[in-house]
Structure 1
């Protein structure tokens, strides 16, 4: 059934969708849905893929020259590569949740983001930072009440991906949409996220194995961002995408599932707890991650992420109450 509260399109025709629903004649779910916050949800078909990284350290060194061997060896939680079946189609947001969509959610729901509710704020970029006193010589500082989803320390419009949002904020958004749209929204599992990122490919990025291929599909740490971090110039993608920080969503080419910014722009929370050794015991069908843990997995990299860490298989993590200038949200919606 088509969920109430969402505008559905099938073959570009809302009328066809209405007729299909009224006659109970739909053979499959519509390929695209748009909800009341303006999120476009693309249908991702069921399928099978190899989850994790099956490249050797030597192969990774060839693909990613200039990285220390220790960095390449520190990717063990991506192994063993294993076959996974996604047994049900699902919808995934074509874009990361935007500042404008998050603002509308807050206004409609009355929800207060954690960075505001607990009074500690978020992280933010400070262009006047002092590398000698700032942790890791970085330009990010926090937690500080002056930083939040509304102010990450750099300019954003309503079209940019919202950042400085916690895992708990993301879950609250999904629960509110589920209640108001009468259809279940949630964070993707790690397996769903990686499957959707690859979109039928078996390469390091959905654009290919070469980091240079990211220039057409991703806003990552490149020559424009490296201006603010010259000490990391050697790890920057040698390209100019025109964005030193986040980019408005959908500025780069999508993958074969019609999903934008799966690499870069903002890290995306997943539903799963992180465990370095989970892949060794992961079930083949629809793995859900460990039953418990301390940190939640985030995927995809950000505008500040080196290409090595923006790959489909790369896993990173934070505690559920983390709010950071690089981390945002992408939701899935279950297909009936």
Structure 2
């Protein structure tokens, strides 16, 4: 079995490498979203890096941070048995606006009257009850206003998991094609695109500004107490960046590291990897919080790695959290 698994992994890596040399197969939908064909394949999901290794490469973090990454283990073989189409970028402000105008859907931040979270230069986290980096919930903040300027080509944020599901359902009904959030396994498979490194461009956290928009010196100026966790080099953006501003990965996908956290379909289970099925894992059957992946414009490099897992309640709306849709491929 070990020989067979190794062969499957080798074939997957070869397939991803060979496929990356060809232009990605694209399709566009009625909202102007572009999707990239992702082939079926096998990969190693998760990370089992030792705390000592992480401490060497991320020396500015308190040691307890490394222990908190236990849910990335064990590394396990996952086989994605069906190809799919994944949105080439995160859903943009313009695309989400077109959805709202066409469907009449009212996002949760507006529907329940409590709003979202947002950046306010006058807000002091140290003087707030929760110590949160952003002000909220407040009716002033929503996908329309996260407290900083966005254009239509920026990733939409302040989107709840329920909002993301509403968009997927509406597109499915409108187009007769199945749209959904990717599973956590599909997301990591697409993010890695044949790699086993921390990022699409290697293991060095100082290379993060080449492939994504994270917490850099410009953002750190607004949160000086976290200056030590900023990347050394600037990535060019204090807040969100226009989608596809950085290098794509080998599958032709942009912003898999940083810019906006992306909801996936799974409930979170801290020990799920220990008993995850090999073929097309769907996550736990029940749970309290949903998984989000990829990091954001405000996220430290330790947490924009391909294997990092985070979570929130499905009603959460936050100026760091958006989405990327999956469209199922036609049956062969």
TM over 0.5: yes
**Which residue does 2:97 correspond to in 1?**
103
C-alpha separation in 2, matches of 1:67 and 1:49: 29
How many pairs align? 307
User: Which residue is 2:306 aligned to?
Assistant: 312
What is aligned with 2:147? 153
- Distance in 1, matches of 2:180 and 2:236, equals 32
Matched, 1:65 2:54: no
State yes or no: 1:303 paired with 2:264.
no
**1:54 CA drift (Å):** 2.3
The residue aligned with 2:266 is 272
Separation in structure 2 between the aligned mates of residue 305 and residue 136 of structure 1, nearest angstrom: 19
The residue number in structure 2 matching 1:34 is: 28
Contiguous gaps of at least 5 residues in structure 2: 1-23
Query: Match of 2:10?
Result: none
Relative to structure 1, the CA distance from residue 86 to residue 132 in structure 2 (aligned partners, 3 Å threshold; closer, same or farther) is: closer
Q: CA deviation at 1:323?
A: 0.3
Judge conservation of contact 1:126–1:139 (CA < 8 Å) in 2: no
Shift, 1:135, TM fit: 4.2
Paired residues of 2:268 and 2:311 also in contact (CA < 8 A): yes
SS of residue in 1 equivalent to 2:191: helix
Q: Structure 1 unaligned runs (5+)?
A: 1-29
Partners of 2:125 and 2:134 within 8 A in 1: no
Alpha-carbon contact 1:127-1:139 (below 8 Å) kept:
no
**CA deviation vs aligned residue, 1:64-85 (integer Å, no higher than 9, x gap):** 2221211011101101110100
The superposition leaves residues 16-75 of structure 1 with CA deviations (integer Å, 9 ceiling, x where unpaired) of xxxxxxxxxxxxxx9210011111100001111110102111122222222121101110
Aligned to 2:320: 326
Partner of 2:127, secondary structure, is coil
Q: Determine if the alignment matches structure 1 residue 224 to structure 2 residue 223.
A: no
Distance 1:131 1:180, change over 3 A: closer
Distance 1:73 1:104 in 2: 43
Instruction: Tell me whether 1:178 sits opposite 2:172 in the alignment.
Output: yes
Distance 1:82 1:164, change over 3 A: same
The C-alpha deviation readout for 1:279-313, integer Å capped at 9, x for no partner, is: 00100010000000010000000000000011111
TM-score (norm 1): 0.90
Which stretch has the larger CA shift, 189-198 or 208-217? 208-217
Rounded Cα–Cα distance in structure 2 between residues aligned with 1:93 and 1:299: 15
The answer for the alignment partner of 1:287 in structure 2 is 281
Distance in 1, matches of 2:129 and 2:144, equals: 23
Q: What is the 5 A alignment of 1:84-103? A: 84-103=78-97
> What's the C-alpha RMSD, in Å, of the aligned pairs?
1.1
Question: Which residue pairs with 2:189 in the alignment?
Answer: 195
Q: Which moved more, 1:290-299 or 1:60-69?
A: 60-69
CA distance in 2, matches of 1:258, 1:134: 42
Aligned partners of 1:132 and 1:205: how far apart in 2?
A: 32
Instruction: Supply the distance in 2 between the matched residues of 1:278 and 1:258 (Cα, whole angstroms).
Output: 29
The alpha-carbon distance between structure 1 residues 59 and 40, as it changes in their structure 2 partners (threshold 3 A), is same
Query: Structure 1 residue 238: deviation in Å?
Result: 0.7
Deviations 1:195-222 (A, max 9, x none): 0000000001111101012111100001
SS at match of 1:43: strand
Runs of 4+ in 1 over 6 A off after TM superposition: none
Distance change >3 Å, CA 135–CA 49, structure 1 → 2: farther
2:239 is matched with which residue?
245
Matches within 5 A, 1:12-51: 31-51=25-45
- Deviation of 1:328 after TM superposition, in Å, equals 0.1
